[in-house]
Chain A
Amino acid sequence: EPEVTQTPSHQVTQMGQEVILRCVPISNHLYFYWYRQILGQKVEFLVSFYNNEISEKSEIFDDQFSVERPDGSNFTLKIRSTKLEDSAMYFCASSAQGGQPQHFGDGTRLSIL
């Protein structure tokens, strides 16, 4: 069964540095999402992406965040200048159609020092 893949599984970065989290969604999927989960808290929506543009973003997704789909397969989340509070598990998800169930990757654990 096809899966969403995320790399790296764990990223350790100094505060203020840029970080790029990578995701390869399932190949025929059209809707892409990023979520995050701070330790001990709920999974929170960050951003959705469809038809090569952001379709919705949350209050968390400020100017420090950006997403790209640079080619036909990768979907990246960039944090330009990381803060301590960005430490979390970041999940990528994709779905074939709007309203279809989302398929999640294993997540990237981001630790900001």
Chain B
Amino acid sequence: AQRVTQPEKLLSVFKGAPVELKCNYSYSGSPELFWYVQYSRQRLQLLLRHISRESIKGFTADLNKGETSFHLKKPFAQEEDSAMYYCALSRSSGTYKYIFGTGTRLKVLA
């Protein structure tokens, strides 16, 4: 079965501390993985996709097929990073629907 697991509902870190938001997936084929961010009262916005391998707002994520993980990392958290973060999996063919994790709320403390 296709599944995305984000084990932490809430992650609190101090400003300037490193951040790692965990995402594990279960999928038998070749998935596409995404991170979306939702700031307070705003829409879901694409943060990263695994195939682009870029860094957005200082965040990076590497797909580890051996561990079936796609963890989101940032070396130095900023207060404006406080938001809800969702990991999503899409098939690489067919309808491309997303399967979402339950989300992790990141709180960056001053």
Show the binding face of A for B, using Cβ within 8 Å.
3-4, 31, 33, 35, 41-45, 48, 50, 55-56, 91, 93, 95, 98-99, 101-107
User: 13 A-B pairs, CB-CB below 8 angstroms?
Assistant: A35-B98, A42-B100, A48-B97, A55-B95, A56-B94, A91-B43, A98-B94, A98-B95, A99-B92, A99-B93, A102-B46, A102-B98, A106-B43
On chain A, the residues within 8 Å of B70 by CB distance are: none
Judging by beta carbons under 8 Å apart, are A106 and B99 in contact? no
Count, chain B residues at interface, CB 8 A: 23
Judging by beta carbons under 8 Å apart, are A101 and B34 in contact? yes
Task: List 3 tightest A-B contacts by C-beta distance, closest first.
Answer: A56-B95, A104-B44, A43-B100
Majority secondary structure, A binding face: strand
Q: A99-B92, A101-B49 are in contact. Are A45 and B99 (CB under 8 A)?
A: yes
CA gap between A33 and B101 in the complex, in Å: 17
Judging by beta carbons under 8 Å apart, are A106 and B100 in contact? no
On chain A, the residues within 8 Å of B42 by CB distance are: 106
Judging by beta carbons under 8 Å apart, are B97 and A99 in contact? no
Q: Which of A31, A95, A104 contacts B43 (CB 8 A)?
A: A104
CB-CB contacts below 8 Å: B74-109 with A: 86, 90, 92-103
Q: A99-B92, A101-B49 are in contact. Are A44 and B100 (CB under 8 A)?
A: yes
Q: How far is the CB of A34 from chain B (nearest CB, A)?
A: 10
In the complex, the chain B residue whose C-beta lies closest to that of A48 is B95
Q: A42-B102, A43-B86 are in contact. Are A99 and B43 (CB under 8 A)?
A: no
